[in-house]
């Protein structure tokens, strides 16, 4: 997890730094559901966004790992709570994608 | 236009947030957000979104360490409480869209003032008990759920981890040993931040040019803080940090009120 957060943060930093060196206009540059990588130097923009998405993915992967442990231990109660949490995260994603 | 100097400043802010956050047992958002808003003039909503990214970094690094040690995180309890904190984060992340930057500054100032008082009050307390049995009596659990919901809403509104509410709930309310309470809160913060971030992404307020450099600074700062921790005099640091936080809270609230 520490390695994942290092990787995500530094991928993003390196791509943003390269874009600044190349003189790209970075304001405003929001991460959204549309093509946030579009514009000049699309690959660098894609890498910067992927770094942040990697950071977002880590807690979700951690949750999935907890769910798999609960499944192997047949701990249905924990599994149900994890399912509830994943539902909340999915709801957040759907609301963000399709509107409040 | 975002220039090289701005990136260096954002990284420096991230380093400071990660370092102080890890020394004080906070997520880092409570330092990163005012730094971005007051020092660099970044709009409050964008600063809050970046604060959530900094919280994610601290949570990922710290929770990973605690999970490897084993037994530090009360996973069943964390999962149950996180159901409410994540719901609160989702709510806060969307509600913040209806608040103006100045209202948010005043509310953030009030939250910082609470954090400052909490830090100053605990600066000279003896090391907390580590051998207490967890109490989950009938009224404590529902009350903890409610407080975690509040912590989640605060996290979504201000871009902070919510540890200033979650750790006291876990330690004082549910009598989880202090180190275990901090570890469990760190595990929970990341998931709360993910649910809160969705609202900011929907409103296109998660700026990649700010979040990337800030995240890198926070990760390095948090690591340095963890290494420095045993060599530093924590009570003195806490007192200094509490006073700085109180002054920043005042400045944040004043700025919000003047532009109301």
- Span A16-37, pLDDT tens digits: 999 988 988 877 788 877 777 7
CA distance B39 to B222: 21
Prediction ipTM score: 0.92
Minimal Cα–Cα distance from A73 to chain B, Å? 13
| Cβ neighbours, 10 Å, residue A6 | 18
CA distance B6 to B210: 9
Cβ-defined contact of A85 to B64 (cutoff 8 Å):
no
Give this prediction's pTM: 0.90
Q: Could you give the C-alpha distances from B4 to A1, A24, B23, B93, B221, in angstroms and in order?
A: 29, 11, 29, 30, 20
- pLDDT score at B239: 84
By the CB < 8 Å criterion, does A48 face chain B? yes
- pLDDT score at B115: 84
- pLDDT score at B137: 64
- pLDDT score at B161: 84
| In the predicted structure, residue A41 carries a pLDDT above the cut 70 | yes
Structural domains in chain A (count): 1
DSSP assigned state of B31: H
Low pLDDT (below 70) residues in chain B: 1-4, 25, 124-138, 230, 234
Query: 3-class DSSP state for residue B207?
Result: strand
Domain ranges across chain B: 4-258
A-chain CB neighbours of B199 within 8 Å are: 92, 95-96
Range of the domain at A13: 2-98
By the CB < 8 Å criterion, does A92 face chain B? yes
A-chain CB neighbours of B91 within 8 Å are: none
């Amino acid at each position: 997890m520490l390695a994942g957060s290092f990787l995500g943060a530094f991928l993003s930093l390196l791509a943003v730094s390269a874009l600044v060196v190349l003189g790209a206009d970075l304001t405003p540059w929001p991460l959204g559901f549309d093509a946030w990588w579009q514009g000049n130097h699309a690959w660098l923009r894609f890498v910067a966004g992927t770094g942040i998405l990697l950071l977002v993915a880590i807690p979700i992967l951690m949750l999935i790992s907890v769910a798999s442990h609960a499944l192997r231990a047949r701990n249905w109660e924990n599994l149900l709570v994890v399912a509830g949490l994943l539902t909340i995260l999915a709801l957040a994603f759907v609301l963000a994608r399709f509107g409040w | 236009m975002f220039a090289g100097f701005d990136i260096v400043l954002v990284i420096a802010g991230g380093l400071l947030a990660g370092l102080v956050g890890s020394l004080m047992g906070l997520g880092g958002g409570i330092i990163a957000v005012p730094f971005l808003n007051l020092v660099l003039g970044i709009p409050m909503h964008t600063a809050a979104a970046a604060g959530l990214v900094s919280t994610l970094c601290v949570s990922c690094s710290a929770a990973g360490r605690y999970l490897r040690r084993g037994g530090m995180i009360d996973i069943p309890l964390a999962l149950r409480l996180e159901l409410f904190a994540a719901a609160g984060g989702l709510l806060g992340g969307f509600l913040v869209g209806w608040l103006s930057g100045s209202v948010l500054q005043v509310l953030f100032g009030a939250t910082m003032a609470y954090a400052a008082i909490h830090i100053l009050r605990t600066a000279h307390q003896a090391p907390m008990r580590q051998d207490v049995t967890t109490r989950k009596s009938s009224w404590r659990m529902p009350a903890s759920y409610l407080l975690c919901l509040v912590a989640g809403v605060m996290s979504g509104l201000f871009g902070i981890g919510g540890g200033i509410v979650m750790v006291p709930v876990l330690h004082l309310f549910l009598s989880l040993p202090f180190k275990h309470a901090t570890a469990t809160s760190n595990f929970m913060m990341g998931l709360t931040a993910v649910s809160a971030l969705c609202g900011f992404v929907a409103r296109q307020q998660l700026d990649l040019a700010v979040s990337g450099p800030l995240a890198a600074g926070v990760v390095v700062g948090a690591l340095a803080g963890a290494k420095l921790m045993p060599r530093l005099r924590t009570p003195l640091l806490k007192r200094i940090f509490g006073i700085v936080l109180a002054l920043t809270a005042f400045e944040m609230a004043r700025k919000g009120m003047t532009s109301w």
